[in-house]
Homo-oligomer: A and B are copies of this chain.
Amino acid sequence: MYQATTDKQLIKNIPDGGILTPKGFQCGGVHAGLRYTKLDLGMIVSEELASCAAVYTTSHFQAAPLVVTQESIAKEQLLQAIVVNSACANACTGEQGYQDALKMRSLAAEKIGVPEHHVAVASTGVIGEFMQMEKIQNGIGKLSVGKAIEDAKDFQTAILTTDTVMKSCCYSAEIDGVTVSMGGAAKGSGMIHPNMATMLGFLTTDAKVSSEHLTAALKEVTNTTFNQITVDGDTSTNDMVLVMANGTAGNQPLDPTHPDWTVFMELLKESCASLAKQIAKDGEGATKLIEISVAGAMSDEEARMIGKQIAGSNLVKTAVYGADANWGRIIGAIGQSPSSINPKTVDIYLGEMAMLKGSTPVDFDEDEAREYLLNDKVEIFVDLHLGDGKGMAWGCDLSYDYVKINASYRT
């Protein structure tokens, strides 16, 4: 579970930072024409060959770019660039889609003069349409990368689909007496559920850490951050979170025996949690972020499952949208969890307000509850009083706009 520890105190938030804050990275975005006007093709380049780690969708239908990225990383576990497009997911496109993803990789590799297998590829957009490769080729041709704030914004914009805001984060910490930074950019915003949803997350860091240790760290952190958000219970074919670590900060190589390993883990957790929450908050049609904390479960894993069940309930989501303190919806969601529950010992809080204690209704002020539910962020706390397991999950409310957006997604 993502929890504050003493190491968290050592992590500094850099509000204006992003993927270009860590040393030795450049990026950019262009309008390749896959979409009407918005930037739709972007690239991040590391000046040095970088360690890397990635996690992918659990969908049976992994899109072609994910296959190609896995092939790239399998070869040397090193990357120098990632090229991304929005508008077209290049998923369910068979052999042609695979060839298109390979071509996109080789065009990007040629552009910056590195071997193909040092380039990763990501796509997001409509499933089942073929890539317009001429536009991709022209786009990569005119794409330029740089180190200005505008370059970061161009990349952040190029990866968005129905997102309404750019998502970025930046944190730093002292490791071995030097400043190590980590920056991130992400896109949401529908089809967001377990184990990587339609989301892409890209993290850059100047930390020195091997791909092996970075991969283990990313997997651990993903379970309590990206995998704990849900917008609509649907999982995409294209999800990917990718970290590049170029080692330019000057720290000693990080591994679990390094005295500052836990500080590095916190840096990664803060970064992933920040992007995950930004994605949940900007869920399609969402008007607010819902944060669920579960305590007293039989295990952390069960607590996370229950949290996600609540965050994913359409009835909870619509009640929050309508500012209706209908905690029966929360009971409905908890009740159907396969996790252990004692139906007589459950407490439910909405913010600071108790709704249910020992599974018995508590009188509360309806007006106060309604007022609370009008906030941008709504916190639900559940204590099962069974064990020591704790976990968190994040979601958003379900509004008319979610229906509107998805009733005509392709048009």
Contact = CB atoms under 8 A, between A and B. Distances in A.
Contacts of A178: none
A337 to B, nearest CB: 7
Nearest to A355: B128
A61 B322 contact: no
B336 A59 contact: yes
A236 B332 contact: yes
A407 B397 CA distance: 10
A36 interface: no
A92 interface: yes
Given A237-B335, A336-B235, A359-B94, A398 B403 contact: yes
Nearest to A93: B361
A407 B128 contact: no
Contacts of A407: 318-319, 321-322, 324
Contact of A403 (B57, B321, B329, B408): B321
Interface string A119-131: 0000000111100
A336 B193 CA distance: 10
A331 B400 contact: no
A404 B399 CA distance: 8
23 contacts: A59-B335, A60-B334, A61-B341, A91-B331, A92-B328, A92-B331, A92-B356, A92-B359, A128-B361, A193-B336, A232-B314, A232-B315, A314-B402, A314-B406, A318-B403, A318-B407, A318-B409, A319-B407, A322-B409, A324-B408, A324-B410, A398-B403, A400-B400
